[in-house]
Amino acid sequence: MSTNELRGFRVRRARTSDVPGIQKLVQPLVESRILLGKERVALYEALQEFRVAQDLEGNLIGCGAVHVLWEDLGEVRTLAVADSWRGRGVGHAMLERLEYDASGLGLSRLFCLTFEVRFFSRHGFADMGHETVDPEIYNELLRSRDEGVAEFLDLARVKPNTLGNTRMIKHL
């Protein structure tokens, strides 16, 4: 039995049947303006990026995704834990799994945009400040339509979505 199972949960790859549960998990955070809402179709499109945590009865209690932004750079997205499971290691286990997945993809840096600065700091993330990328890569990234890339680059057009959030990065 794994350490997480001893704590009463396990982390696994997300399945299509998990999408309604993922939406249910993130909805309170969307309503509190902590996370940006995603249409159900976007969750299905990004499903292979997601991992979920479930309790031993099979209930979804956490979710998170890692999205590739560039050859060495990914973003932690939609990390959420059910209120009743906060403080019990679920967020830590989810982030640990996402970092493992990121390393397996060949990424050496992970970005996140978050209000949960203390949580991510405890896991090795640091405030990016005004850090960016080489001008050549910056110009390539500008071509992306992905909002996460725009948030990483700190573009003016996403400022309303990012107010109060901290741009953080971790070198794996």
Structure tokens at 137: 């890569």
Rounded Cα–Cα distance for residues 138 and 29 (Å): 31
Q: How many helices (H) and strands (E) does the chain have?
A: 8, 7
- DSSP codes, 9-57: EEEEE--GGGHHHHHHHHHHHHHTTSS----HHHHHHTGGGEEEEEETT
Q: What is the pLDDT of residue 157?
A: 67
In the chain, domain spans: 5-171
Separation of CA 86 from chain center: 16
Rg of the Cα trace of the chain?
A: 16
Find all residues with CB under 8 Å of 37, minimum gap 6, and list them: 26, 27, 30
Query: What confidence score (pLDDT) does residue 29 get?
Result: 92
Residue 162 has pLDDT above 60, yes or no: no
What is the per-residue pLDDT for 130?
Answer: 72
What pTM did the predictor assign?
0.88
Predicted local distance difference test score (pLDDT) of residue 74: 93
Give the position of tokens 């209120």: 83
Least Cα distance to 51 among 102, 108, 115 occurs for: 102
CATH 3.30.590.20 is right for the domain spanning 5-171: no
Q: What is the pLDDT of residue 125?
A: 96
- Say how far apart CA 155 and CA 144 lie, in whole Å: 12
In the predicted model, what is the mean pLDDT of residues 88-94?
97
Cα four-point dihedral sign 145, 21, 93, 15: negative
* Per-residue pLDDT reduced to its tens digit, 30-88: 999 888 888 999 999 999 999 999 999 999 999 999 999 889 999 999 999 999 999 99
CB-facing half-sphere around the CA of 128: CA atoms within 13 A:
21
pLDDT tens digits, 117-128: 999 999 999 998
Question: For position 65, what pLDDT does the model report?
Answer: 98
Confidence at residue 163, expressed as pLDDT on a 0 to 100 scale = 61
Summary mean pLDDT of the chain: 89
Give how far Cα 78 sits from Cα of 1, 105, 130, Å. 28, 19, 23
